Amino acid sequence: MRRTGKAAICRELNKPVLVETISIDGPTRGEVTIRIAACGVCHSDLSATNGTIPLPPPLVLGHEGAGEVIEVGEGVAGGPGGLAVGDHVVTSFIYMCGKCRFCSGGRPVLCVEQGKALTTPPEGTPRVSDAAGKPLNIFSGCGVMAEYATLSTDNVVKIDAKIPLDRAALVGCAVTTGVGAVFNTARVEPGATVAVFGCGGVGLNAIQGAAIAGAERILAIDTMEAKLLIKPGQDATKEIKKLTGGGPDYAFECVGAGALAEAAYKAIRRGGKAVIVGVARPTDSAGIKTMGMVFEEKTIQGSYFGSCVPRVDFPRMLQLYMAGKLKLDELITRRYKIDEAAQAFADLESGKNARGVIVF
Ligand SMILES: NC(=O)c1ccc[n+]([C@@H]2O[C@H](COP(=O)([O-])OP(=O)(O)OC[C@H]3O[C@@H](n4cnc5c(N)ncnc54)[C@H](O)[C@@H]3O)[C@@H](O)[C@H]2O)c1
Ligand SMILES: [Zn+2]
Ligand SMILES: [Zn+2]
């Protein structure tokens, strides 16, 4: 059935997000409708509102959500991975064709069709419309900064119903991206030295992932005065090298700037690895001296959604949380009502929060 509910929408780039009442169609084959309980506010949502990530408005924001299944389409119930009304789920924002060599090889973030349906559910037809009946785009198969969302079962993962949904939501992006970059992309080993550029929702999770992986030393780099280890005016790369006796084994760029990708690459020691997690503007770039790359055997690597397999990694992150090893309670600085969405985005932009979460 069709439902109506409030949602955070970008109608015009570089303008505050709006809260509107939208219509959400019921599920067709292979889809479920979810009553969203919570949705984290990620920098990538902000990047969609200012054109850094080019997704055309009008766009229903949100890709870090969790909620309860309230209606299932044909072919959804039963079997492994089946979903039923009442199940608790976390959303996933990647497209998985399930058939290409990358999906078949357990690397769905590299699916050759990634990006095929960036503003609709995978099959390509919008499921949401505004009060005037005009179709709306959704953020990367999700659009879950909304009271309800109808998603493909490929974009949801069932979780243990004991886990509070506001904390579970963070696994839909920040946690899996940050911890996954450490566990899956870089495979940080015990005793390694790690530097993390940018200590927001993603960077803080790279930090805690590095701690769980047994890193011996973790340097956290940020421009927020309160968080500073290296003072303004100092050369961060030089100071990092000094502090770590030649550079960290791994550096994670969790901000989204070519200059910082370059700084992360420069900072790592011989044989080290710089992992680029932040999403910069499409026109941004980094300059790497290739000769040094050869003689110092340095690596620079991207990491998309923590190189995760959602059905494997989401439960894994939540088990670490349940075991008291992964901190999720502490990550939520502030909870907002959907009507406060513009404030939540302003607070993200000013760096006030570890993570802000919209709760419904
Ligand atoms: N690779 C992926 O799959 C993926 C997934 C989610 C988010 N992202 C990207 O990761 C980045 C971070 O996202 P987030 O939600 O953690 O953002 P955030 O706004 O919560 O955190 C960014 C942090 O970087 C700090 N910062 C800004 N400029 C800096 C600088 N010059 N040097 C050091 N620190 C600086 C800010 O103070 C803030 O603490 C964004 O680019 C986002 O789009 C990537
Ligand atoms: Zn995100
Ligand atoms: Zn594929």
Domain at 44, CATH number: 3.90.180.10
Q: What total number of domains does the chain contain?
A: 2
Ligand with an atom nearest the CA of residue 305: 1
Let me know whether 224 and 276 are in one domain.
Answer: yes
User: Which residue bears the tokens 């200059």?
Assistant: 259
Let me know whether 106 and 16 are in one domain.
Answer: yes
3-state DSSP assignment of residue 360: coil
* Largest distance between two CA atoms of the chain: 62
How far, in Å, from the CA of 310 to the mean position of ligand 3?
A: 14
Let me know whether 37 and 110 are in one domain.
Answer: yes
Per residue in 8-50, pLDDT tens? 999 999 999 999 999 999 999 999 999 999 999 999 999 999 9
pTM here is 0.96
Q: Which of 39, 41, 43, 260 to mutate to test the pocket of ligand 1 (most atoms within 8 A of CB)?
A: 43
How far, in Å, from the CA of 110 to the mean position of ligand 3?
A: 7
Instruction: State mean pLDDT over 318-323.
Output: 98
Residue 312 is assigned to a structural domain of this protein: no
For the record, the structure tokens of 296 come out as 């110092």
Q: Does residue 61 contact residue 8 with C-beta atoms inside 8 Å? A: yes
Could you tell me if the CB of 44 is within 6 A of ligand 1? yes
Q: Which of 41, 235, 254, 333 to mutate to test the pocket of ligand 1 (most atoms within 8 A of CB)?
A: 254
Bridging pattern class, strands 65-72 and 88-91: antiparallel
Let me know whether 248 and 287 are in one domain.
Answer: yes
Let me know whether 106 and 239 are in one domain.
Answer: no
119: region left, alpha or beta (phi > 0 left; psi from -120 to 50 alpha):
alpha
Residue 311 is assigned to a structural domain of this protein: no
Per residue in 242-265, pLDDT tens? 888 899 999 999 999 999 999 999
Could you tell me if the CB of 303 is within 6 A of ligand 1? yes
Domain that holds residue 70: 3-172+328-359
For the record, the structure tokens of 103 come out as 């999906």
Instruction: State mean pLDDT over 296-313.
Output: 98
Residues of the chain by 3-state class (helix, strand, coil), percent to 5:
30, 25, 45
Backbone Cα Rg of the chain: 20
Residue 104 is assigned to a structural domain of this protein: yes
Instruction: State mean pLDDT over 220-234.
Output: 69
Q: Does residue 213 contact residue 190 with C-beta atoms inside 8 Å? A: yes
Burial class (CB in 10 A: 0-12, 13-18, 19+), 30: middle
Could you tell me if the CB of 43 is within 6 A of ligand 1? yes
For the record, the structure tokens of 139 come out as 């953020």
Let me know whether 270 and 289 are in one domain.
Answer: yes
Please report the atom of ligand 1 found closest to the CA of residue 256.
Answer: 41
Bridging pattern class, strands 31-41 and 355-359: antiparallel
Let me know whether 115 and 202 are in one domain.
Answer: no
Distance of CA 67 to the CA centre of its chain: 17
Let me know whether 190 and 103 are in one domain.
Answer: no
With cut-offs at 50, 70 and 90, classify the pLDDT of residue 232.
Answer: low
Tell me, what CATH number does 238's domain have?
3.40.50.720
For the record, the structure tokens of 327 come out as 């901190």
